[in-house]
Amino acid sequence: MSTAPRLTALDALHRSLGATMTDFAGWDMPLRYASERDEHVAVRTKAGLFDLSHMGEITVTGPQAVDLLDFALVGNISTVGNGRARYTMICQEDGGILDDLIVYRLAETEYMVVANASNAQIVLDALVARSGGFDAEVRDDRDAYALIAVQGPESPGILKSITDADLDGLKYYAGLPGTVAGVPALIARTGYTGEDGFELFLKPEHAEGVWKALTEAGEGVGLIPCGLSCRDTLRLEAGMPLYGHELTTALTPFDAGLGRVVKFEKPGDFVGRKALEAAAERAETAPPRKLVGLIAEGRRVPRAGFSVVKDGVVIGEVTSGAPSPTLGRPIAIAYVDAAHAAPGTEGVGVDIRGTHEPYEVVALPFYKRQK
């Protein structure tokens, strides 16, 4: 039995804007409004507006909320200051990645965990299962929030004109309560585009008013609505992993080159510690494969699952690929054998339907904004 996709609070608005909608993790989401290339370029040069209400918010509260999170996640949550956020992961006992997350500390004993849409239920179930013995409550807040992101170099100016919050004092990976267009919101300086920008958590009933206010505020500086398609090419250029592509339960954070998120020095045990200690050692001595960037010499676009080859031998696999509007050439992220992972490795190609297309191996990210 198939269930109807969930709709965000902005669904009618997206349709009125002529969005092409797509099913994403059980949600009906805008893929693009007009040209995904124009949307991508707007975020890199001006500003873009995104509906991200499909993300999964889980609130953890109580005297031992931080102890539960330190046990359940691989990061050291006890060092996250009030009003700050941290990128982290939740792993299985065997070290496999269940999801990558952002944890916001909202108050002394209150945290918000933001999971990917496709994993929100899995993360919620895991946190509930791991909460036994802790004086803490895990709450499913997916229906309590709409999430709107404004991203790009013009985003601070746009948001400034409709908020009372001190945006200049708001650092990257911090979040503070304020009002936006007259309604309460959690304003976070986070994003998934490689640009400066903000994510606004608000009540679903306020979403349409805030979207319209942002649209109006950004009219003179080139802000346009953006769909999931350009969000994917933006994060790809910025070398940011996507769950289900670069991150899976078959990989540990060390396999993904993100071992830095695992904090062995934190007090007490955490789920997956033993397996991750072994994974850390493996990554030091004999890493099986490394995550690299690939830039096409030709025009053909590699896709997830395509083989990376050298001298006729398969040496890896593409996890994400797309045309890069910023570089003007197709790009890909791939896991390749460590022996061939150094930037500038000669003779590497991608098997695109039987033809070995030449690719240049580069360090990630492909794109880094000028601060």
Helix (H, G, I), strand (E, B) or coil at 12: helix
What is the CB neighbour count within 10 angstroms for residue 248? Answer: 14
Indicate the pairing of strand 146-151 with strand 85-91.
unpaired
* CATH code of the domain containing 296: 2.40.30.110
Same domain, 297 and 183: no
Nearest residue to 50 (alpha-carbon basis) of 221, 234, 177: 234
Q: How confident is the model at residue 371 (pLDDT cuts 50, 70, 90)?
A: confident
* CATH code of the domain containing 212: 3.30.1360.120
Same domain, 333 and 223: no
**Range 87-109 average pLDDT:** 98
Rounded distance between C-alpha atoms, residue 119 and residue 85, angstroms: 20
Which pLDDT score is estimated for 245? 97
pLDDT digit string (tens) for 185-212?
999 999 999 999 999 999 999 999 999 9
Query: Phi-psi category of 264—alpha, beta or left, where left has phi over 0 and alpha has psi -120 to 50?
Result: alpha
Q: What is the DSSP letter of 367?
A: -
Which pLDDT score is estimated for 157? 98
CA angle 173/217/187 to nearest 5° reads 20
Beta bridge partners of 291: 335
Same domain, 205 and 311: no
Same domain, 298 and 220: no
Which pLDDT score is estimated for 288? 85
Sign of the four-CA dihedral 309, 313, 315, 318 = positive
Q: Which amino acid is at 140?
A: D
| Residue 356 within a domain | yes
Same domain, 47 and 149: yes
Q: Which amino acid is at 3?
A: T
Beta bridge partners of 32: 20
| Residue 247 within a domain | no
| Residue 29 within a domain | yes
Sign of the four-CA dihedral 183, 119, 87, 157 = negative
Which pLDDT score is estimated for 286? 84
Rounded distance between C-alpha atoms, residue 30 and residue 314, angstroms: 36
Same domain, 229 and 150: yes
Which pLDDT score is estimated for 208? 98
Q: CB-based contacts of 68: which residues, under 8 Å, 6+ apart?
A: 60, 62, 127, 130, 131, 134, 136, 138
Task: Check: CB of residue 186 under 8 Å from CB of residue 235.
Answer: no
Indicate the pairing of strand 6-7 with strand 27-32.
parallel
Task: Check: CB of residue 97 under 8 Å from CB of residue 256.
Answer: yes
Same domain, 164 and 227: yes
| Residue 181 within a domain | yes
Rounded distance between C-alpha atoms, residue 335 and residue 28, angstroms: 31
Same domain, 190 and 45: yes
Same domain, 23 and 160: yes
Task: Check: CB of residue 110 under 8 Å from CB of residue 65.
Answer: yes
262 is written with which tokens?
């695992």
pLDDT digit string (tens) for 238-289?
999 999 999 999 999 999 999 999 999 998 999 999 999 999 999 988 888 9
Which pLDDT score is estimated for 18? 98
Task: Check: CB of residue 103 under 8 Å from CB of residue 112.
Answer: yes
Q: How confident is the model at residue 1 (pLDDT cuts 50, 70, 90)?
A: low
| Residue 352 within a domain | yes
| Residue 302 within a domain | yes
Same domain, 34 and 163: yes
Which pLDDT score is estimated for 183? 98
Q: CB-based contacts of 298: which residues, under 8 Å, 6+ apart?
A: 330, 357, 358
- The total domain count for the chain is 2
| Residue 249 within a domain | no
Q: CB-based contacts of 355: which residues, under 8 Å, 6+ apart?
A: 300
Q: What is the mean pLDDT of the chain?
A: 97
Q: Which domain holds residue 160?
A: 6-53+145-237
Same domain, 34 and 153: yes
191 is written with which tokens?
């994003």
Domain end, chosen from 237, 272, 298, is at: 237
Q: How confident is the model at residue 370 (pLDDT cuts 50, 70, 90)?
A: confident
**Range 128-135 average pLDDT:** 98
Same domain, 297 and 220: no
> Above 80 in pLDDT, residue 2?
no
| Residue 305 within a domain | yes
Which pLDDT score is estimated for 267? 85
pLDDT digit string (tens) for 109-121?
999 999 999 999 9
Task: Check: CB of residue 329 under 8 Å from CB of residue 345.
Answer: no
